């Protein structure tokens, strides 16, 4: 059974700092997705990573995938308050997505 673990589950940080969210998964997969969810809202797709070594960047967020290590990272550079949200990773397993529990990120001014 594929399991997806995110850590940390909660992160409070100051604006301007850098940090990384980790997503580990338990079986082979070459396809991983990152989503953002604001409180009480729906999920918004951030990144689609489809191969080993894939790296995607959008603004202050950068995601990468290492399929050999079964690890994806979401790196936040010089955080700003607007990035406060819950971030989910999801791994494709036979056309179904297995979701991590989410990382709640709070960025303080």
Partner 1 sequence: DGGITQSPKYLFRKEGQNVTLSCEQNLNHDAMYWYRQDPGQGLRLIYYSQIVNDFQKGDIAEGYSVSREKKESFPLTVTSAQKNPTAFYLCASSGHRGNWSPLHFGNGTRLTVT
Point out which residues bind partner 1 (CB under 8 A): 4, 31, 33, 35, 40-45, 48, 50, 88, 90, 92, 95-97, 99-102, 104
Nearer to partner 1, 83 or 90 (CB): 90
Nearer to partner 1, 30 or 82 (CB): 30
Q: How far is the CB of 52 from partner 1 (least distance, A)?
A: 14
- What does each C-alpha distance from 44 to 78, 87, 89 come to in angstroms? 21, 10, 12
Do the bridges between strand 10-14 and strand 103-108 make them parallel or antiparallel, or are there none, so unpaired? Answer: parallel
Residue 18 and residue 73 in contact, taking contact as beta carbons nearer than 8 Å = no
Q: For 25-90, where are the alpha helices, taking DSSP H only?
A: none
Q: How far is the CB of 41 from partner 1 (least distance, A)?
A: 7
Residue 37 and residue 44 in contact, taking contact as beta carbons nearer than 8 Å = yes
Nearer to partner 1, 71 or 92 (CB): 92
Q: How far is the CB of 16 from partner 1 (least distance, A)?
A: 27
């Amino acid at each position: 059974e594929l399991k997806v673990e995110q850590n940390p589950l909660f992160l409070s940080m100051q604006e301007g700092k850098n940090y990384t969210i980790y997503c580990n998964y338990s079986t082979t997969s070459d396809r991983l997705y990152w989503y953002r969810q604001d409180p009480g809202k729906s999920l918004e797709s951030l990144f689609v990573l489809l191969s080993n070594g894939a790296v995607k960047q959008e603004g202050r967020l950068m995601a990468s995938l290492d399929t050999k290590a079964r690890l994806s990272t979401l790196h936040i550079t010089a955080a700003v308050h607007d990035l406060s949200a819950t971030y989910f990773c999801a791994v494709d397993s036979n056309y179904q997505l297995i979701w991590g529990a989410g990382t709640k990120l709070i960025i303080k001014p």
